[in-house]
Structure 1
């Protein structure tokens, strides 16, 4: 999606608009205008985002892999935190039971 492709698409769009103005707009012309306008808009948006070159597909794939890795790491961190909190709660429960049942006296 180079600037030349965007310029060609803009030229086709201008021709279709002129045709619609001269002869009236039938359904085929309107569809062609909508298609060309969509293509032109997508090309402009990708160009502004810096994704209009040949390496853009690989860049997006790499970003998706990084995002997946981040989500996996975040999920693992939450699981580890929940497991740690559950272990601490169980330890405090056991300590409370030991004190309540008088196991502290056995140690002395």
Structure 2
């Protein structure tokens, strides 16, 4: 049997707060210390552009959030911790899926919101 796998990201807008800690950071830190879990955590800086168009604000928030996760005990020796914008394949895959996904299929997706 293989390892359990965890993938989650946090949008890099704003300052981390208690809700972030209880809902996402604390469980992520616990999973990052578990050798039976393959953990991937990312800073969703591209996704942040939906809420904030100020690159300086996104950069500042990215640093604050990364520092918070590490200060709260994220085990970066056992977990992969990365910035969404550091993986060029993410934007490449997004482009390909955008070109090939029909609007009707998107309308049935829980994550799609019409503008």
Q: Is the pair's TM-score, using the shorter chain for normalization, greater than 0.5?
A: no
Larger Rg: 1
Structure 2 length-normalised TM:
0.24
Higher helix share: 1
Structure-1-length-normalised TM-score:
0.25
Q: Which has the higher strand share?
A: 2
